[in-house]
Structure 1
């Protein structure tokens, strides 16, 4: 097992909690890879069971802190459960959030990455999974924070997915040339099952936006559910941060795995 240290986490994330989860590599194949995209080779973290083939595929959309140890550990958690997990670094053309000194620098990186390019980057990640023992006919996406927003957008972009699971991804905000649409704008165009996981004490995502998102998904007859944990803040699943709330995180993880079993694992 590779030893992990606090330096493996994002620089701007602050003090790293001693309660962080560390998933071992034993029984897994894990590696840093480069995925051809047509616009440069994209770094990604790859994890799957060490033996076998035809694994269901889970794409992992990173939080604002980039492709750091928390996201890599989530990939290993899925791989330990029999998934082929790919976490692409879709910010690689504009910067590395994990090395950024502060949130302001991270925001500049994020806003420089066009949503349209990120969508095709995930397409490339799926192609890579298909060539690496993955069964992309059984594929899903999950994402955290900014990656939760991306999971919503990719759910609309790729209706061949079987499921999407956004965690506390913002639903609305300022529109720019690089980010022209938000989940609230495209909710009625989503055709795949979605499980949204949100914190009721998250000031960045107002409850009225969550209610609006639910209503729009309902109008579109999407098989979707948004679960709100009343006292949970933003990033309640981030076990390496003070925002971590074990009870909410564990229940949301249980719901995630049940949702995937029902929607993705069936042949």
Structure 2
């Protein structure tokens, strides 16, 4: 069971869910939530990392992003009803609109950086801090990797790697990325991203799961969850972190 700790960034206060590792620490993991916020599923993921031996901290970035977590949770639940999906989708897009603001994106990046700095200053995380994120969080894992040379490992699940110019050249750590084959937008972008990563000299390791779409890891979303893909992705993630965060 974790505890909530306080942070501040971009002139705003926010909190994060922190869980101590079980047994000797193997490193630290910054866990970045989906667009739905710091929901029980994300806390459970942080708990799983702690059980595997990592100090895990999952920040609530919704306020920094200008998003209403309660409204999005309600709309997300209604979207899972096929009869209401068409009606709810425009409302979800409208609720997510603040996320498209460059100023809000900068605020979220500042919040992520504040939590990373916190972890990097701990005995568990010094030179052994990784970032794992999902959807919205996966995109900000890519963003953190581009701007933070101390990041030891990056694991974006179905995230969008928004980049311009030479930003990919800033990635100094290996990147293990997961995608669902039916996630058409990201699948369209993946070949160009893979090529750009190669040009930048990034150790980029994409894994695509057949029969899976967006949010395949989220076991609280019955319509999208794919248990076998989620199991394999989790095993790959722990193996990757075990290699990358091992003491030198």
Same fold (TM over 0.5): yes
More helix by share: 2
Give the CA deviation at 1:42: 1.4
Q: Is the 8 A contact 1:163 1:260 kept in 2?
A: yes
TM-score (norm 1): 0.77
What is the CA deviation profile of residues 130-160 of structure 1, one whole-angstrom value per residue up to 9, with x for unaligned ones?
Answer: 5655323100101001111111111011011
1:253 matched residue in structure 2: 234
> 1: distance between equivalents of 2:208 and 2:96?
26
Q: 1:86-140, CA deviations, whole angstroms, 9 ceiling, x for partnerless residues?
A: 1111222423324434223541343356222222212211233356553231001
Partner of 2:6: 34
The RMSD of aligned alpha carbons is: 2.2
SS for the counterpart of 2:172 is coil
Following superposition, the deviation at residue 38 of structure 1 comes to 5.7
Q: Does 1:59 align with 2:39?
A: no
Alignment match, 1:118: 108
TM-score (norm 2): 0.83
Long gaps (5+) in structure 1: 1-24, 172-181
Q: Residue 172 of structure 2 aligns with which residue?
A: 191
Task: Work out the number of aligned pairs and report it.
Answer: 227
User: In structure 2, what is the Cα distance between the partners aligned to 1:50 and 1:222?
Assistant: 32
Q: Deviations over 1:33-85 (max 9, x none)?
A: 21133622211111113676x66111111101111111111000001111111
Structure 2 stretches lacking a partner, 5+ long = 76-91
1:108 aligns with 2:108: no
Q: What residue in structure 2 maps to residue 174 of structure 1?
A: none
* Greater CA drift, 210-219 or 113-122: 113-122
Residues 1:158 and 2:157 are matched in the alignment: no
Q: 1:167 aligns with which of 141, 157, 160?
A: 157
Structure 1 CA distance for aligned equivalents of residues 188 and 156 of structure 2: 17
Compare 186-195 and 100-109 and name the one that shifted more: 100-109
Measured in 1, the distance between the counterparts of 2:133 and 2:141 equals: 5
* Equivalent of 1:144 in 134, 149, 153: 134
By how many angstroms is 1:217 displaced?
A: 0.8
Residues 152, 244 of structure 2: 8 Å contact kept = yes
2:36, 2:28 → 1: CA distance? 23
Counterpart check, 1:75 vs 2:75: no
Spell out, residue by residue over 1:201-249, the C-alpha distance to the aligned partner (whole angstroms, 9 max, x if none): 11332x2311111111111121111111122110000011120001111
The answer (yes or no) to whether the contact 2:8–2:111 under 8 Å persists in 1 is no
